[in-house]
Amino acid sequence: MPATTADTASQPAPDGVRHQPATNGPRHIAIIMDGNGRWAKRRHLPRVIGHQRGVEAVRRTVRAAAEMGLAVLTLYAFSTENWRRPEDEVSALMGLLKRFILADLDEFAENNIRLKIIGDMAGFSPEIVAMLGNALARTAANTGLTVVVALNYGSQDEIARAARAAAAKGAITPETISAELDTADLPPLDLMIRTSGEVRLSNFLMWQAAYAEMLFLDVLWPDFGRDQLEAAFAEFARRDRRYGGR
């Protein structure tokens, strides 16, 4: 989405993190993967089919992001609010998560992709926690694309946790809070994408998105893939990021 010129991109951002020039595109993209249910409804299919097709869109997007040289891709997979969904839908989502880990871990390992989880994994079953722990350990040394999966994640909860941790150590400042966020070890967020035509952040990376570019697409998530990601890179290149300057 944004075109970052070398002089503006190299200036320190308000959070104190120095942004690197992004002449070849964004380094860190986050996606709110919205529209699985509507995709299924339009085709008179069960919602779980929409979620299955959404997993296929994740695979396409991860592969494209790795091939395009993206450093970090953060995906909003399951929010703290998603537990309110019907029990059968939550159960289906948990099943899809387990199958995704089992089916795609080898590909991650073979293609130098690192997995990172943000959010509270303790909210999941011991089986899923163990599978995620194994996946994290197996890909920890990989140096290519980092795929960050937000699970049982809510930005307000993350900020509250970070503020408490910062307070326990001393002064509370934007810098000390940033250092305690789940994403503290990642490059700053450059571009936030939301599919399905909705225009809101839905409690996702609200701190990190302070100076990110935003792109809201009418495409439903199961229809997202390389073409849409390439278009997002091109839109980023047209943006002039000033971080509050002129």
Render 16-61 in DSSP notation, one character per residue: SPBPPP-TTS-SEEEEE---HHHHHHHTT--HHHHHHHHHHHHHHH
Q: Phi first, then psi: what are they for 222, rounded to 5°?
A: -60, -15
Distance separating alpha carbons of residues 3 and 204, to the nearest angstrom: 23
| 112 is annotated as an active-site residue | no
| 82 is annotated as an active-site residue | yes
The candidate with the shortest Cα–Cα distance to 232, out of 213, 246, 206, 245, is 213
Contact between residue 75 and residue 58 where contact means Cβ atoms under 8 Å apart: yes
Catalytic residue among 82, 111, 142, 203: 82
Catalytic residue among 15, 34, 104, 190: 34
The helix-helix angle for 47-67 and 87-110 (nearest 10°) equals 20
**Residue keyed to tokens 């998603």:** 82
Distance separating alpha carbons of residues 139 and 141, to the nearest angstrom: 6
Tell me the catalytic residues: 34, 82
